[in-house]
């Protein structure tokens, strides 16, 4: 044993002497090892940080640690992908209460949040109809004998506002007439607009305001409509439990949906991107690109296009200006632009034609002086939305929901992935999706009882109605048809829904209904998030025991291609590490081969004085290991310092999608001990493998070859 240690000591001394004797070659090989270790530490740290950040983004915004859904579904759940009747074919879970009971038996499950995801359309922001409605109300007050100065002033102001709208519309149609060689398709509309823009029409308006309003509503409002069709993606859930469980959720305006109340919450991202006035939205986007990305309007064709379109988009502002606001805008814009022009439309076009020199000043002026007079958002907190969605059987169902507020996920306010989802209560979601709530089911039972209706499968209706089926035909049943064709129950549901629709926004519900009923999926939060795999196995085992067709997915698999981004990044990084490994292996191997061939005399001398081949091999391998450890440690130290510096400074997200992956506007990388250990192991392995062939060459050198080389 002592002989072994004595030999090892001698080998180590000779190896260290050789390293210091050939400093240039040592530092060349060492530099390669240092760079490789640096790359491994920095790369794995960044990868782990992105992985953890994206995990926080997804689990904290909508997915939870695990998603569960029906195993009878024809497609795999994707909470960020296509969903709803026209998207993924996800079968419902009929009894959420039973699902919760089963999941609660799994020791690692901390919370379960019911869910359903769908899309709908909403028409918002028809300011022309709103102005005409206010004018009709003011005319009605005067017709009913209200002679107050305030009513008269309001009536005059609303008339001026309508005249402003008509003037804008008349200008648009005149422009169309100029650029078209054949304007016959708009000739009738132009005639209506010319009539509404004439002095004679407004001089006679007060004689019969109701008849003239009817003309404006029927012939003019549809032409001047600035209504937008919003396509909203929303999640139906228990709002209270969602807010308590997803701790990144915060209410930025308004209030949460009260317990037991139907309601709707806009996400901040959707509210800014879809509901805000286009001119304001465009200005915001240009400012972000100028401030955050340091882009210039003069250098970017995309920014130039946005500015040009915005300058031609002043109509939506003009449609909001009544007589008083028109005077205010004329005064403010004329003073700011030093212009004598009295046409507010021309002033707006001139103001919105911005460049790098005046953008910041005009942006501030817009929000400080003009925006307070405008309705910047076409739907406001407190308004009522009429949401229309296709049910699972193809009907269009609608619900009137009160907008209680606007929410966001902290750090992800600008992320389209986390911010694309709005929220409503689960009871309203079930009705829009085509599932029966307790109130709707009771009304349907009453309708069926009064009418004596019997459930008949649609495909067998002829046989049942005309008597060709036998008395014991099993198609006549009180159980709803599983066919995609709507059954009688579903049609009665439409009738019941139409009766409730006008009152639906104010109708409370029993909070217990959230537990008792259909859900499409559910988010599961774990006590220990590192045990996702074992918990999924336990969930599916418990579901099998309780005979529930339940499928569980990790957050990464539940969000489809979004969750696979880290897998792709990891593959790219590991590929880069392998390439670096191979290149380093070849370079180090070549360097060691050359160094070995230059030391032939030394090896021959050692062999001549009795050194065994194993001694030579051990010496060279030990030299490589020492080189790897020393320079690998240096690379690890430099990599650690660089990651620590990045952790303090942060890496800015260069677009909204990267913001989601970074879980905020900046990524703050962090070191982990496994990153350091991995780098050291890889460096030592490369060093040992690289020294194998040179050591084999050295072992084959005989004393006679050494003497021949010396001669």
- Which band of pLDDT confidence, cut at 50, 70 and 90, is reported for residue 480? very low
Q: What are phi and psi of 103, to 5 degrees?
A: -65, -30
What is the chain's percent helix, strand, coil content, to nearest 5? 60, 10, 25
- 294-316 mean pLDDT: 89
From the CB of residue 224, how many other CB atoms can be counted at a distance below 10 Å? 23
Q: Are residues 78 and 37 in the same domain?
A: no
Q: According to the model, what pLDDT value does residue 699 have?
A: 66
Answer yes or no: is 106 within a domain.
yes
Domain range holding 291?
A: 277-315+325-373
Strand partners, 67: 523, 553
Q: According to the model, what pLDDT value does residue 482 have?
A: 41
Q: Which of 110, 108, 115, 98 is nearest to 537 (CA)?
A: 108
Answer yes or no: is 467 within a domain.
no
Q: According to the model, what pLDDT value does residue 566 have?
A: 64
Give the pairing of strands 109-124 and 396-409: unpaired
Q: What is the share, in percent, of the chain residues with pLDDT greater than 70?
A: 74
Q: Report the distance separating Cα 89 and Cα 72, nearest Å.
A: 10
Q: According to the model, what pLDDT value does residue 66 have?
A: 93
Q: According to the model, what pLDDT value does residue 476 have?
A: 44
Answer yes or no: is 113 within a domain.
yes
Answer yes or no: is 481 within a domain.
no
Give the end-to-end CA distance of the chain in Å, rounded to a whole number. Answer: 40
Q: Are residues 590 and 660 in the same domain?
A: yes
Q: According to the model, what pLDDT value does residue 483 have?
A: 40
Which span out of 4-18, 322-336, 351-365, 408-422 was modeled with the highest average pLDDT? Answer: 351-365
pLDDT 10s digits, 256-289: 999 989 999 999 999 998 889 989 999 999 998 8
Q: Report the distance separating Cα 245 and Cα 675, nearest Å.
A: 32
Q: Report the distance separating Cα 471 and Cα 191, nearest Å.
A: 66
Q: What is the share, in percent, of the chain residues with pLDDT greater than 90?
A: 25
Q: Are residues 80 and 168 in the same domain?
A: no
Which span out of 74-88, 425-439, 493-507 was modeled with the highest average pLDDT? Answer: 425-439
Q: Are residues 160 and 92 in the same domain?
A: no
* CA distances to 251, 384, 589, 680, 682 from 37, in Å: 45, 60, 17, 7, 8
Q: What are phi and psi of 563, to 5 degrees?
A: -70, -20
Q: Using the predicted structure, report yes or no on whether residue 706 has a pLDDT greater than 60.
A: no
Answer yes or no: is 704 within a domain.
yes
Q: According to the model, what pLDDT value does residue 573 have?
A: 65
Q: Are residues 700 and 618 in the same domain?
A: yes
Q: Enter the tokens of residue 300.
A: 């970017």
Q: What DSSP state is assigned to residue 456?
A: B
Answer yes or no: is 142 within a domain.
yes
- Which band of pLDDT confidence, cut at 50, 70 and 90, is reported for residue 598? low
Q: According to the model, what pLDDT value does residue 469 have?
A: 46
- Which band of pLDDT confidence, cut at 50, 70 and 90, is reported for residue 499? very low
Q: Enter the tokens of residue 546.
A: 């309780």
Q: Using the predicted structure, report yes or no on whether residue 611 has a pLDDT greater than 70.
A: no
Q: According to the model, what pLDDT value does residue 488 have?
A: 46
Count of domains in the chain? 4
pLDDT 10s digits, 645-704: 988 888 887 776 777 777 777 888 888 888 888 888 887 887 777 777 766 766 666 666
Q: What DSSP state is assigned to residue 220?
A: I
Q: Are residues 611 and 523 in the same domain?
A: no
- 225-236 mean pLDDT: 77
Distance of CA 592 to the CA centre of its chain: 52
Q: Are residues 531 and 569 in the same domain?
A: no
Answer yes or no: is 362 within a domain.
yes
In terms of pLDDT, which residue wins out, 601 or 57?
A: 57
Which span out of 80-94, 313-327, 532-546 was modeled with the highest average pLDDT? Answer: 532-546
Q: Using the predicted structure, report yes or no on whether residue 351 has a pLDDT greater than 60.
A: yes
Q: Are residues 306 and 411 in the same domain?
A: no
Q: Report the distance separating Cα 526 and Cα 237, nearest Å.
A: 19
* CA distances to 36, 284, 354 from 379, in Å: 56, 19, 28
- 448-468 mean pLDDT: 59
Q: Using the predicted structure, report yes or no on whether residue 314 has a pLDDT greater than 50.
A: yes
Q: According to the model, what pLDDT value does residue 87 have?
A: 43
Q: Report the distance separating Cα 359 and Cα 365, nearest Å.
A: 10
Q: Are residues 388 and 330 in the same domain?
A: no
Answer yes or no: is 574 within a domain.
yes
Q: Are residues 34 and 106 in the same domain?
A: no
pLDDT 10s digits, 512-526: 888 888 899 999 999
Q: Are residues 395 and 530 in the same domain?
A: yes
Q: According to the model, what pLDDT value does residue 286 have?
A: 94
In terms of pLDDT, which residue wins out, 394 or 53?
A: 53
Q: According to the model, what pLDDT value does residue 607 have?
A: 63
Q: Using the predicted structure, report yes or no on whether residue 485 has a pLDDT greater than 70.
A: no
Considering the chain, what is the average pLDDT of its residues?
78
Do 539 and 106 touch, CB atoms closer than 8 A? yes
Q: Are residues 88 and 136 in the same domain?
A: no
């Amino acid at each position: 044993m002592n002989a072994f240690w004595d030999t090892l000591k001698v080998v180590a001394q000779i190896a260290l002497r050789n390293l210091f004797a050939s400093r240039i070659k040592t530092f060349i090989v060492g530099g390669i090892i240092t760079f490789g270790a640096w790359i491994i530490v920095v790369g794995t740290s960044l990868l782990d940080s992105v992985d953890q950040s994206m995990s926080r983004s997804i689990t904290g915004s909508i997915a939870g640690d695990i998603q569960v859904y029906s195993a009878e579904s024809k497609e795999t759940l994707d909470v960020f992908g296509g969903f709803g009747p026209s998207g993924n074919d996800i079968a419902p879970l009929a009894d959420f209460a039973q699902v919760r009971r089963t999941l609660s038996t799994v020791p690692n499950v901390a919370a379960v949040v019911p869910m359903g995801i769908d899309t709908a359309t909403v028409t918002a922001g028809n300011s022309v109809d709103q102005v005409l409605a206010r004018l009709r109300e003011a005319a009605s007050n005067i017709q009913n004998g209200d002679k107050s100065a305030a009513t008269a002033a309001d009536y005059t102001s609303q008339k001026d506002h309508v005249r402003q709208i008509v003037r804008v519309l008349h200008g648009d149609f005149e422009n169309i007439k100029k650029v078209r060689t054949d304007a016959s398709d708009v000739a009738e509309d132009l005639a209506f607009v010319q009539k509404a823009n004439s002095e004679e029409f407004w001089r006679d308006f007060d004689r019969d305001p109701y008849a003239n309003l009817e003309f404006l509503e029927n012939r003019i409002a549809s032409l001047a409509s600035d209504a937008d069709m919003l396509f909203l993606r929303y999640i139906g859930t228990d709002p209270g439990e969602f807010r308590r469980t997803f701790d990144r959720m915060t209410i930025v305006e308004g209030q949460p949906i009260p317990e037991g109340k139907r309601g709707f919450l806009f996400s901040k991202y959707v509210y800014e991107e879809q509901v805000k006035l286009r001119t304001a939205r465009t200005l915001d986007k240009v400012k972000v690109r100028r401030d955050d990305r340091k882009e210039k309007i003069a250098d970017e064709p995309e920014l130039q296009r946005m500015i040009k379109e915005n300058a031609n988009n002043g109509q939506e502002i003009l449609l909001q200006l009544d007589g008083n606001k028109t005077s205010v805008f004329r005064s403010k814009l004329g003073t700011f632009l030093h212009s004598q022009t009295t046409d507010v439309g021309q002033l707006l076009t001139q103001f919105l034609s911005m460049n790098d020199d005046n953008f910041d000043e005009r942006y501030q002026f817009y929000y400080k002086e003009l925006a307070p007079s405008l309705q910047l958002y076409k739907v406001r907190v407190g308004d009522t939305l009429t949401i229309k969605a296709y049910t699972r059987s193809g009907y269009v169902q609608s619900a009137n929901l009160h907008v209680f507020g606007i929410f966001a996920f902290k750090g992800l306010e600008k992320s389209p992935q986390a911010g694309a989802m709005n929220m409503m209560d689960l009871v309203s979601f079930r009705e829009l999706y085509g599932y029966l709530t307790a109130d709707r089911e009771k009304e349907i039972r009453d309708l069926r009882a009064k009418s004596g209706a019997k459930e008949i499968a649609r495909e067998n209706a002829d046989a049942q109605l005309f008597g060709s089926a036998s008395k014991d035909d099993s198609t006549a049943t009180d159980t709803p048809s599983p066919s995609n064709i709507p059954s009688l129950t579903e049609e009665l549901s439409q009738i019941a829904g139409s009766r409730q629709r006008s009152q639906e926004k104010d109708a409370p519900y029993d909070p217990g209904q959230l537990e008792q009923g259909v859900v499409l999926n559910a988010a599961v939060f774990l006590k220990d998030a590192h045990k996702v795999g074992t918990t999924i196995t336990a969930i599916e085992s418990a579901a099998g025991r309780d005979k529930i067709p339940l499928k569980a997915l990790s957050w990464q698999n539940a969000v489809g291609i979004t969750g696979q981004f880290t897998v792709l990044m990891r593959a790219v990084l590991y590929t880069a590490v392998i390439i670096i490994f191979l290149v380093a292996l070849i370079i180090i191997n070549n360097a060691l081969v050359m160094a070995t061939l230059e030391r032939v005399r030394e090896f021959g001398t050692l062999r001549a004085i009795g050194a065994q081949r194993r001694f030579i091999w051990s010496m060279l391998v030990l030299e490589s290991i020492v080189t790897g450890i020393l320079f690998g440690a240096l690379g690890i130290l430099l990599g650690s310092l660089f990651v620590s510096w990045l952790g303090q400074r942060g890496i800015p997200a260069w677009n909204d999608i990267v913001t989601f992956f970074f879980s905020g506007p900046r990524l703050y990388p962090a070191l982990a001990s496994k990153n350091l250990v991995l780098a050291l192991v890889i460096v030592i392995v490369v060093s040992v493998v690289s020294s194998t062939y040179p050591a084999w060459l050295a072992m084959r050198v005989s004393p006679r070859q050494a003497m021949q080389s010396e001669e």
